[in-house]
A and B are shown apart, each in its own frame.
Chain A
Amino acid sequence: MSAILFDRIDEPGLNDIAVYEKRGGYEALKKALTVPTAGIIEELKASGLRGRGGAGFPLGTKASFIPTADIDKYLVCNADESEPGTFKDRELMQKNPHLLIEGMIIAAYAVGANRSFIYIRGEYELQANILEEAIAQAKASGYIGENILGSGFSLDLVLHRGAGAYICGEETGLLDSLEGKRGNPRLKPPFPANQGLFQGPTLINNVETLATIPPILRMGGSEYAKLGVENSAGTKLVSISGNVQRPGNYEIELGMSSRDIIYGLAGGPDEGRTVKFWFPGGSSSPVLTADDLDLAYDFDTLAKAGTMLGSGAIIVVDDTNSVVDVALTLASFYKHESCGKCTPCREGTTWTVKMLQRIQDGEATPMDLDIISSVQEQIIGNCLCVLGDAMAMPVSSLVTKFRAEFEEHIEAARERNGLGMTPPPASEEPALSL
């Protein structure tokens, strides 16, 4: 497979518009502006491209939800990239910013949006500066502004820096943040396609999703759909990190074996160590174990295995690590990032951290594991957004799949702590003889 998004990604000066144009950049835009907008949406539908930000919703379908009426409409690029383990958008924006910009202009044209925004996480300073420069170049070349290339279509593009909050990656939290407020998620419906930024219809997509639009139009939607497997068309940038020898971003064709990604591309764990468990789609995805390494890496296969492809971020944890440490780091993140609006998430993340801390401190009993599991159940599905679920699902999977290790840890920590052995579970208690 030849690279699509990572095609000659390290070419020197690619962030400059001249280099980008020399390799065929902005040609897809020129062509798009001569096609009726409905035709572009049809191409996007034909490509089968599913959103790359986490939820995997088909791009063409989402774009077709935007009303065609002549009203103020908006396009927002989600460049908040804060899901632990995810760093693919960073590399794309830093090295090929014009690919994203070209994709955004085409998407805005397709849905009739005249104002567009890139919401980039505040910590990405280098990438923000590069994008700012690239946007200025695109404006100077007439690709952004009034009456673009004589088409009659006008577009403004503003780069907006966030300030450090995971919840601003959630699309409605992002919209509130972009309106200058605290990034609290909104009740859905209404969905952003009907009522989003400044109450107007808003198309909101991930960086990688939008950057795939120019290649789709160059190849043709049906040609792109031939890449990958059924229901998971195309290529995907996968961020691999944790205990692997060659961490980094790799572009894969969806449907590749997970083992080939983790061992073949990333080199697997260090000599003498083995994979204990792995997060297939960012820290929010339920974990898989070494037994699952032969699963195909695509949306449906991972969903069937009870987890998700998410943002395409694989975190590998090897056998030298304690499952309790990982669970505590994980839960602490969601506790810190919970915006506090919904009680089950705010309190559930807080108490989960406290209970895991009790386990670490040797103050827990195996009953705490049941309470942890029940708290997770009470979070899932009970909040405005899925931040709480994003902790509950992986934590539940860790407790279920590694219960024996949690119990051993509880026992050992209690002994270290001088609290002695825990009482045997109720079922094994000798019956009281009266």
Chain B
Amino acid sequence: MTEVTRFTHGSRIPGWDDAVDPDKAPAPVPDAATTPVPAELRQEIEAEMAKYPVSRSALIPALHAAQRVHGWCSPEAIEQVATVMGITPGEVAAVATFYDMFETKPVGRQTIYVCTNISCSLRGGDKILAAMKAAAEGDADFNIRGFECLGACDMAPMASVNGDFVGPLEPADCAQIVSDLKGGLEVIPSKQLRARPCADPAGNVAVTSNEGGQS
């Protein structure tokens, strides 16, 4: 019988089971004078804040920007977002830990999400994940994660390589992807989503005349 471990409920929230100090006072909004923020990052966050009637709405875009600068949502990145937005680091961290795309531990810069959800796993997604991990074995520059459905099950099994969707993948493609990334090349252009035509033959009828609007 498997022993049931208590209090580790496999929560999606990192840090859920970490020890906490209940006597610690909550962190206030970081003082702008002692929290330097790179000028470009500050500008980007402020521009995002201006888009919304309530500036707090810009928190996710701000975290995307900070992660791009710092490589992950480090305590420093969180402090910087907090000071620009005028909220506490706790509020920022609470949001950063909720979303899968925000890294709350240091990771490599080359981010590969391999989909292991239903449609991809029916077509070998788990083998792709294993092959991808093997191909990048020991290289700290790579952050390879199994991911939930990425909305590209038509090209299953697939992966998102630094945001570019590629598929359908063979295990042998993984070494190619890793070496392409190391060489700074575009990964397998023929398997990129942007090159993929619509499957529906009715949608691909030849364009004869554009005049007269839609038929």
Using CB atoms and an 8 Å cutoff, list the residues of chain A in contact with chain B: 1-3, 6-11, 19, 22-24, 27, 72, 81-87, 89-91, 94-95, 115, 121-126, 158, 160-166, 177-183, 198, 215, 218, 239-243, 246-251, 265-266, 279, 283, 313, 315, 317, 321, 325-326, 329-330, 333, 335-340, 346-347, 350, 353, 358, 361, 363
Contacts and interface: CB of A to CB of B under 8 A. Distances in A.
A123 B151 contact: yes
A249 B57 contact: no
B34 interface: no
A20 to B, nearest CB: 10
Interface of B: 1-2, 9-13, 51-54, 56-61, 63-64, 94-95, 98-102, 113, 116-119, 121-123, 148-156, 160, 163-165, 193-194, 197-200, 202-205, 207, 210-215
Given A3-B200, A162-B99, A182-B95, A218 B214 contact: yes
Contacts of B63: 163
Interface centre among A9, A123, A198, A347 (most CB of B within 10 A): A123
A82 B2 contact: no
B33 to A, nearest CB: 25
A84 B149 contact: yes
Nearest to B126: A329
B100 A165 contact: yes
Given A122-B101, A242-B122, A317-B122, A178 B163 contact: no
A350 B200 contact: no
B12 A338 contact: yes
B64 A2 contact: no
A89 B154 CA distance: 13
B198 A248 contact: yes
B69 to A, nearest CB: 16
Contact of B153 (A3, A115, A158, A247): A247
A236 B142 CA distance: 40
Q: What 9 A-B pairs have minimum CB-CB distances, sorted nearest first? A: A248-B199, A24-B213, A6-B203, A164-B100, A241-B153, A180-B59, A163-B99, A125-B163, A84-B149
B37 to A, nearest CB: 18
Contact of B203 (A243, A251, A283, A346): A251
Nearest to B55: A180
Nearest to B150: A123
B199 A126 contact: no
A248 B51 CA distance: 36
Given A22-B210, A180-B95, 6 more contacts: A121-B151, A123-B150, A165-B98, A283-B118, A333-B148, A346-B9
Contacts, number: 218
A279 B152 CA distance: 17
B122 A82 contact: no
B211 to A, nearest CB: 8
B149 A335 contact: no
B202 A251 contact: yes
Nearest to A361: B2
A241 B121 CA distance: 11
A178 B56 CA distance: 9
A346 B13 CA distance: 12
Nearest to B165: A126
Nearest to A166: B148
A417 to B, nearest CB: 11
A90 B210 CA distance: 24
A71 to B, nearest CB: 13
Nearest to B197: A10
B178 to A, nearest CB: 20
A179 B56 contact: yes
Contacts of A241: 119, 153-154, 156
B154 to A, nearest CB: 4
Contacts of B98: 165, 182-183, 339
Contacts of B117: 84, 283, 329, 333
A49 B214 CA distance: 20
Contact of A163 (B100, B149, B165): B100
Contact of B52 (A158, A162, A243, A279): A158
B9 to A, nearest CB: 6
Contacts of A164: 99-102
A138 B123 CA distance: 40
Nearest to A83: B149
A8 B100 contact: no
25 contacts: A3-B203, A3-B205, A6-B198, A7-B214, A11-B207, A19-B210, A24-B212, A24-B213, A84-B118, A87-B151, A87-B152, A90-B151, A162-B60, A180-B56, A180-B58, A198-B54, A241-B154, A249-B199, A326-B118, A333-B117, A333-B118, A333-B148, A336-B148, A340-B13, A353-B10
